């Protein structure tokens, strides 16, 4: 990943603290000095890519690298108010990254803005023979679509999970603020999926599940009654 970023024109500034073995968020008693959240030094920056999140929030760099198995990019991005992207499995090479869980490990970009994150992903994505799980899919242009972004707003579902007036109001505010950036948020109606008990967007094809029979094998009911007796 570092070589790919350098080839794309990025300048490496140094190394950042992470949780040991990328195995969680930072905790007291860590072997090395803990990173602190620049927004509030009494709070943690998340993990395991804690140094990356803290450095970006402090404005020390335009972008950083992270690894994500169970939230190690997305967590610091949320804690520090930055942008973190966990790409599709195999999209970015994991060569040189210490394995935590071979089939769940991802690497990806972290930045202060969506645009910077897109530029980083453009440089990082692509096949790498050093990673056996690296994808051979062509790399699209991640920067060009930014001006015509569209995000669905599941207003019906949001209203069903909370009775607080602040939830729909916050949703409307975020939708209004995104319009000057060229983004749109058309409302999407949701319904419960008959196959999984979850919810799906209208227009999506129904999920096909495996029908499970609840009938007992022949004679099972008689044997069960005998055992109870």
Please tell me which residue, 157 or 71, carries the higher pLDDT value: 71
User: DSSP secondary-structure letter at 41?
Assistant: T
> Residue 198's CB: how many other CB atoms inside 10 A?
9
- Sign of the CA dihedral with 51 first, then 57, 63, and 68 last: positive
Mean pLDDT of 4-18: 80
What would the two tokens of residue 76 be?
């610091």
Mean pLDDT of the chain: 76
Task: Please report where in the chains the tokens 């499995």 appear, as a residue.
Answer: 89
In the chain, % of residues over pLDDT 90: 41
Whole-number pLDDT of residue 196: 43
What confidence tier does 219 reach under pLDDT thresholds 50, 70, 90?
low
Question: pLDDT tens for residues 165-180?
Answer: 555 666 667 667 666 6
Helix (H, G, I), strand (E, B) or coil at 43: coil
Per mean pLDDT, which of 114-118, 147-151, 181-185 is the most reliable?
Answer: 114-118
Whole-number pLDDT of residue 193: 46
Query: Which backbone phi and psi does 200 adopt, to 5 degrees?
Result: -135, 160
Question: pLDDT tens for residues 14-53?
Answer: 888 888 777 877 666 677 788 899 999 999 899 899 999 9
Q: What is the dihedral of CA 153, 158, 163, 168, to 10 degrees?
A: -20
What confidence tier does 206 reach under pLDDT thresholds 50, 70, 90?
very low
Could you tell me the CA-to-CA distances from 198 to 192, 213, 216 in Å, in that order?
5, 21, 28
Whole-number pLDDT of residue 22: 79
CA distance 121 to 126: 9
In the chain, % of residues over pLDDT 70: 61
Cis peptide before 48 (omega within 30 of 0): yes
CA distance 66 to 46: 12
CA distance 65 to 120: 9
Whole-number pLDDT of residue 118: 95
Helix (H, G, I), strand (E, B) or coil at 217: coil
Mean pLDDT of 152-170: 56
83 touches 77 (CB < 8 A) = yes
**What structural domains does the chain harbor?**
2-145 (3.90.1300.10), 149-196 (no CATH)
**Residue closest to 47 by CA, chosen among 28, 63, 95:** 28
């Amino acid at each position: 990943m570092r070589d790919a970023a350098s080839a794309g024109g990025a300048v490496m500034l140094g190394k950042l603290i992470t949780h040991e073995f990328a195995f969680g968020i930072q905790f007291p008693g860590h072997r090395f000095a803990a990173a602190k959240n620049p927004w509030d030094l009494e709070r943690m920056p998340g993990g395991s890519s804690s140094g990356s999140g803290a450095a970006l929030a402090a404005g020390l760099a335009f972008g950083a690298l992270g690894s994500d198995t169970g939230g190690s990019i997305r967590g610091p991005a949320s804690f520090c108010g930055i942008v973190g992207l966990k790409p599709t499995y195999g999209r970015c090479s994991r060569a040189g990254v210490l394995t935590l869980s071979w089939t769940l490990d991802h690497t990806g970009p972290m930045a202060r803005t969506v645009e910077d994150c897109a530029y980083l992903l453009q440089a990082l994505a692509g096949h790498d023979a050093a990673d056996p799980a690296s994808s051979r899919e062509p790399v699209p242009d991640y920067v060009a679509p930014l001006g015509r972004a569209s995000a669905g707003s599941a207003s019906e579902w949001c209203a069903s999970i909370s009775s607080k007036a602040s939830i729909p109001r916050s949703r409307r505010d975020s939708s209004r603020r995104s319009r000057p950036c060229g983004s749109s948020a058309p409302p999407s109606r949701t319904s419960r999926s008959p196959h999984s008990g979850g919810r799906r967007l209208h227009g999506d094809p129904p999920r096909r599940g495996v029908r499970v029979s609840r009938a007992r094998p022949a004679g099972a009911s008689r044997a069960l009654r005998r055992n109870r007796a």
